[in-house]
Amino acid sequence: MSFIRTEDRDGVRVITLDNPPVNSLSFALSGELVPIVEAADKDDGVKAVVFIGANGIFSAGADVNDFSTEPTPETRTIRDVIAAVERSNKIYVAAIQKNALGGGLELSLACDYRVATADTKVGLPEIKLGLLPGAGGTQRLPRLIGAQDALDMMLKGKNVKAADAKEKGILDEVVESADGLLDAALKLAKNTEKRRISRRKVELGKGITAQAAPFIVSQAHKMVPAEDAGGFAAHKLIDAVEAAFELPFEFGIAREARLFEELARSAPSFALRHVFFAERELAKIPGLGDAKPLEVKKAGVIGAGTMGTGIAITFAQAGIPVAVIDSNADAVEKARQTVFGMFMYQVQKGRMTQEEAWKLGQSIHFTDDYNELADADVVIEAVFESMDVKKQVFEKLDGIVKPEGILASNTSTLDIDEMASVTKRRDKFVGLHFFVPANIMPLLEIVRGKDTSAQTLATAFKLGKTLRKTAVLSTNAFGFIGNRMVFDYAKAAGALAEEGISPMRIDRVAKTFGFPMGPFAMGDLSGIDVAWHIAKARPDVAKGRTDVIDRLVEMKRLGQKTMAGYFRYDKSVGKGREPIADPEIEALFADEAKKHGIAPREVSDDEILQRLVFALINRGAYLLEEGVALRPGDIDIVYIFGYGFPPHHGGPMWYADEVGVKHVYDKVVEFGWEPAPLLKSIAEKNGTFAALKQGELINA
């Protein structure tokens, strides 16, 4: 298979990158491209070269698979392509359409000129994979736009729109559409007499003198997380950019290459690349076949509470009109204000115009008339977490919504098959579990019932993509994937508190590991009363050893909403969201522990972390064995995108492999927990979750 096409146009050789779908600059493509560049340089009939991409895109960068491949002496990479470009005496122009990311942008930076379509975005997002730009980006971009702007762009891994890229100096010309792209590039190539490769001294930024360089570098290191807390790649990136203004270009390139190789073999990068691939596996569902998804043109939401309003905003932002049904006038008024405030915030941030905000706001219609859902393609229930209430809603919807319409529940724990049983469309029933706030949180658990059809499932996954959510499949089980695991996590935290460890210390250990908040702050955020209701419904799953939650509810300490839960909250401290340690709660845990014969003991921070995270791993192994979760990577995505598990540790199941599954198993036994048979099986084989094949999950 050929990845390159060439064509001569009046002394200009047009080299087209053709490696669908995104023209990744793989080892194979680079191996083919190097001799083509060298041949163009030797051809006296060629004055200039234009790089352009097929498939409506320039290049999304390197093939991530190659980062884990050990190159041979014969391997050619994008670095070799760029070196061949730099050795050449020809003029080089990059004709960029849609995306020039990572190695794609680095290739264009090695060219003399860059022309792009107006819808183009350029960026160096390698930091998201625990890497730094490894084909000259850390050296060329600072020379082009200044070290400060370049470092900001690379540390955030953000994409820059064409107009902004031109203003910064990354692009030389922007054309309106792809129709004029090649002509503009050819014109630049023909009208240029000599190369424009710059080796100029790097400027730090506007108004910043060279003497300030050590201070700027020091401050940059202070502004990113510590190396062992997710900032390993960020610190190496800062070192690489420092080399750009301290060292000659050739030495800077060598420093960049060394730092890149160090990162490519680091544990955080392996973890982040695992997340990258796991996310791309999510939609590969056995049995889905060629099921054709239904088109969703109109949606309905039952309930104008926090969750229902967030779901409605999500649909509106995706361009899907939505009717919100609620008979509570106060709730509807509050929801209207939330919608208005959200879109006005977007206007203030410059993310949309007032006209766009008005249009989106008008696409959400509040009513108490269920009949307005007759023509809805999908209706999502977001009412109180009560099976009886939900069944009443679905019984009513089943008689109103058109027969082909899909009914969905946003329940976080309850049995969707029981809900579906009151309808005559069990095949068109599915769980769509959004996370709070629904319009911001990226995760969507799609819950398949025993009768959910392949078409309904395909529609749910397509809808998730339309709503810009990361959708993960779960089968119907109490709590599904995320919440079923969080019950074990919360119980482990509660058991530690009962043994005399303060909730503040437990939360601090979790945050030091990389969670955005600890288990007790998370409980306060979601509501103690919510946990209490779940514990009453399923004490076997959610109730701890003592009655702490019952007593908190009696004391009306329900979490942040009452300014007191496991912690106290004060509006003068962190706008009422910052936890404040409360000796009364430590005394409460001690009292309950004494009643139940639980003795206090000394516990290390390492054991605190192990009990929290290994509880997740053990339950995750159960869910894999039971078929609730399809793959270990699916669990990792749920916990990273829905619960803030630190991405540089790859998710709980990847972390088990990182520290050793046998080590996890031994500790689970030591803690007196019942180890999952799958965990035991992998430990006995000294294996890993990552190495599991689909059939082994059930048969282990």
Residue 246's Cα: distance from chain center in Å? 35
Which of 32, 106, 242, 498 is catalytic? The answer is 106
Provide DSSP, 291-359.
PPPPP---EEEE--SHHHHHHHHHHHHTT--EEEE---HHHHHHHHHHHHHHHHHHHHTTSS-HHHHHH
Please state, in angstroms and rounded to a whole number, the distance separating the CA atoms of residues 692 and 653.
Answer: 11
Residues 6 or more apart whose Cβ sits within 8 Å of residue 580: 567, 568, 569, 570, 573
Please state, in angstroms and rounded to a whole number, the distance separating the CA atoms of residues 4 and 38.
Answer: 14
| DSSP SS3 for 497 | helix
Whether residue 385 contacts residue 414, with contact meaning beta carbons closer than 8 Å, is answered with yes
Read off the tokens for 53: 């991409």
Residue 126 annotated as catalytic: yes
Residues 6 or more apart whose Cβ sits within 8 Å of residue 671: 611, 614
Read off the tokens for 109: 């930076």
- Cα atoms in the 13 Å half-sphere on the side-chain side of 315: 26
| Residue type present at position 629 | A
| Residue type present at position 129 | L
Provide DSSP, 254-283.
HHHHHHHHHHHTSHHHHHHHHHHHHHHHTT
- DSSP letter (8 states) at residue 111: S
Residue 432's Cα: distance from chain center in Å? 18
User: Residue 404: phi, psi to the nearest 5?
Assistant: -85, -5
**CA dihedral (283, 289, 290, 292) positive or negative:** negative
Give the Å distances, CA to CA, from 628 to 39, 430, 454, 476, 478: 56, 15, 17, 7, 10
| DSSP SS3 for 156 | helix
∠ Cα 174 106 206 (to 5°): 70
Whether residue 540 contacts residue 513, with contact meaning beta carbons closer than 8 Å, is answered with no
Ramachandran area for residue 601 (φ above 0: left; ψ -120 to 50: alpha; else beta) = beta
Give the Å distances, CA to CA, from 321 to 232, 527, 541: 44, 31, 39
Which of 126, 242, 498, 625 is catalytic? The answer is 126
Residue 250 annotated as catalytic: no
The crossing angle, in degrees rounded to 10, of helices 232-246 and 267-281 is 120
Residues 6 or more apart whose Cβ sits within 8 Å of residue 457: 285, 288, 291, 430, 446, 448, 473
Q: 3-state secondary structure string, 357-394?
A: HHHHHHCEEEECCHHHHCCCCEEEECCCCCHHHHHHHH
Please state, in angstroms and rounded to a whole number, the distance separating the CA atoms of residues 675 and 251.
Answer: 53
- DSSP letter (8 states) at residue 72: -
Give the Å distances, CA to CA, from 184 to 10, 47, 48, 293: 14, 16, 14, 41
Q: Which stretches of 77-199 are assigned E, i.e. beta strand?
A: 91-96, 99-101, 113-117, 121-123, 160-161, 173-175
| DSSP SS3 for 510 | helix
| DSSP SS3 for 407 | strand
Q: 3-state secondary structure string, 519-560?
A: HHHHHHHHCHHHHHHHHHHCHHHHCCCCCHHHHHHHCCCCEH
Residues designated catalytic: 106, 126
